[in-house]
Amino acid sequence: MVSASDLQGPSYSGVLDRGLAVIELLSGRAEGMSLTSISEVLRIPRSATHRLMTSLSEHGYIRQEQDRGIYVLTTKLQVLAFRHLASSGYIDAAQQVLDRLAEKTGELVRLAVEDNGQLIWVAKAQGARFGLRYDPDMGMISKLSCSATGFAWLSKMEDKDAIAAIEEQGYGTPGDFGPRAPQTAAKVLEHIHEARKRGYAIGIQTYSDWMAAIATVLIHPLSGRPIGVVSVAGPLSRLAEDRLHELAPLLVASAEEISQLIPGSPSLMSPGAARKTIRT
């Protein structure tokens, strides 16, 4: 609902001004807004607002939920935020969290972020000092249907949306991934429901015949939206199911710590806080 205070803000005329105003407005409305409400709040003509929303949609910054007729932000800005982390030095702080988690678990720790409907691993830390090591290159795309990372990410969606995302990407076959890779929507939903209940997902021989993993979603501290996934993976010989559950508290705590390092989060709003965090 549009409040009286909403309608007392400044008016916007330039296209860039209007585009930024829409993004800023929607950033505080996780539930989304209708075209009419956006037009009224920003005092932009309805026809111009429609053109603006079409352009922002085409560039991937917003999407329209057809069933409710509202507009919401996509995660593109969140991906750009992680790129900013990498270029500004903030990623050094996030990397330190990954490094500590890798040291405590003795396994591979990775951070994945969403980009255009795909989960891409963008940072890692290797904690294994002996035996088998799983050490893939960064930039790989996670298979949603058969990875712990995918199960965790999908657990934050409605079931129908999760299955739609899987079917758009395709199912991972046992021949290409693990012998326990789910091949039907019902089997994937079993993993998703477990992840939703626990707050983390596990995958044992779903991504590889010799590998097990645990993953949890990274939540933006202000919007409350999922923006990535933190995972721990390694050989099944070291990561039996009981061990995965033992690691869950460490994993969840690390994800919460990383979320506080995102630009704009409360922990970085005070002078010098970012610099102090990076030095820790």
Structural domains in the chain? Answer: 6-74 (1.10.10.10), 77-266 (3.30.450.40)
**Model pTM score:** 0.66
**CA distance linking residue 85 with residue 40, whole number of Å:** 35
pLDDT digits (tens, 9 = 90+) for 117-165: 788 888 889 987 765 555 665 557 899 999 999 999 999 999 999 999 9
Beta strand spans in 116-258 (E): 118-126, 201-204, 211-219, 226-235
Q: What is the mean pLDDT of residues 80-106?
A: 76
Instruction: Report percent pLDDT > 90 for the chain.
Output: 53
Backbone φ and ψ of 178, nearest 5°: -100, 160
Give the pLDDT score at 28.
75
Q: Alpha-carbon Rg of the chain, whole angstroms?
A: 20
Q: What angle do CA 160, 69, 170 make, to 5 degrees?
A: 30
Give the pLDDT score at 71.
92
Of 47, 41, 12, nearest to 29 by C-alpha is: 41
| 81 or 172: which leads in pLDDT | 172
